[in-house]
Structure 1
Amino acid sequence: MSVTSSSLRLMSDLRAIKQEPPEGCSASPVSEDNLYVWNATIFGPEETPWEGGIFSLRLQFSERYPEKPPRVRFTCEMFHPNIYSDGNICMDTIQDKWSPCHNICTVLMSIQSLLTDPNCSSPANPEAAQLYTKDKAAYNRRVRRVAQRSVDNC
């Protein structure tokens, strides 16, 4: 494998996540010979409807990382205002507000934070956004079911 600035950065990110893993998150390359595709896991934050859930993601990096953000999507069932039905995430940190100062740890922590603090003004899932704003108790019940099923499917 040739050493590029993107692969050097990904190796640095991997070292960082192994040495100081962010609370409630983990990630690593899918295989040793490809640094550009990672699997990640986010655990549902405690004392939220997401608690106890184990949510899997796939991160795909380009040769232009860290200048360009990774493509990040959930590979498990999700019900959230900012997550499309295909698992893609609508979040400015990995879109128009991306900065090379972000790394895999900050991306995962931002996604974990998004779970409990959705942005309903630009929803990827209008049904979830409407339920969140109109009937939070029903939204929380639906999220609890998703969190409980995530444990069975991991």
Structure 2
Amino acid sequence: MSEHATLLLQRQLRELNKHPVEGFSAGLVDDKNFFEWEILIMGPPDTLYEGGFFRAIMTFPQDYPLMPPKLRFTTDMYHPNVYPDGVVCISILHPPGEDKWGYEQASERWLPVHTVETILISVISMLSSPNDESPANIEAAKEWRMDYPSYKKKVLQLTRRSAEDVW
């Protein structure tokens, strides 16, 4: 299976390089390993993250596209749907099938038709509108809901720092 996954990942990277998508860039961490990508997400306009540059690592399983990759911010990130260790928690990155807690429908979870592009567009959308119903970072979700000015201040500081760290 991993040969199929390698070919698919090579094709997706080639497509992204040929037709870049606004809002992010992607490349390999190591030219010999198609299963680990370095991602740079530009903070979406009209959000607290605007002007920021957020680095992440996307790690693909050997049985990709049957199973989803993992995405972890390596730049500090404070967001209800990002665990304190940087791991992104969104439905399309959850394994396929039924949710054992009944929160997500199977159609919202990972499907092999998803690509790096659709994943990153979902992450950019997540930055724009957090889902505080199912938080990965409970402190950030609580603050977002109950003390937005404090949440906003923390995010704006991280965003400013991320922009300075890129250069």
Q: TM-score, normalised by structure 1?
A: 0.94
Q: Does 1:147 align with 2:159?
A: yes
Tell me the distance in 1 between the aligned counterparts of 2:162 and 2:78: 11
> Under a length normalisation based on structure 2, what TM-score does the superposition of the two structures give?
0.87
* Partner residue in 1 for 2:34: 35
Shift of 1:75: 0.6
Q: Secondary structure at the match of 1:153?
A: helix
* Cα distance in 1 for residues equivalent to 2:46 and 2:79: 17
Corresponding residue for residue 19 of structure 1: 18
Residues 39-86 of structure 1: per-residue CA shift (max 9 Å, x gap): 001000112111110000001112201111111100110100011111
**8 Å Cα contact 2:39-2:55 kept in structure 1:** yes
Aligned to 2:47: 48
Contact conserved, 1:84 with 1:90, CA < 8 A, in 2? yes
State the AA in 1 paired with 2:73.
F
> How big is each residue's C-alpha offset from its partner over 1:90-137, in whole Å with a ceiling of 9 and x where there is no partner?
111111400111111111111111011111111111111011111223
Looking at structure 1, the residues matched to 117 and 55 of structure 2 have their Cα atoms a distance apart, in angstroms, of: 15
| Aligned pairs for 1:1-154 within 5 A | 4-96=3-95, 97-154=109-166
Match of residue 106 from structure 2: none
Unaligned runs of 5+ in 1: none
Deviation of 1:146 after TM superposition, in Å, equals 0.8
Equivalences, count: 153
Kept after mapping to 1: 8 A contact 2:36/2:57: yes
Q: CA deviation at 1:21?
A: 1.6
Is this contact kept in 2: 1:21–1:105, CA < 8 A? Answer: no
Q: Distance in 2 between matches of 1:152 and 1:90?
A: 26
Q: Secondary structure at the match of 1:56?
A: strand
Separation of aligned partners in 1, 2:6 and 2:36: 11
> Following TM superposition, where does structure 1 have runs of at least 4 consecutive aligned residues deviating by more than 6 angstroms?
none
Q: Is the 8 A contact 1:37 1:60 kept in 2?
A: yes
RMSD over aligned CA atoms reads: 1.5
CA drift at 1:5 = 0.7
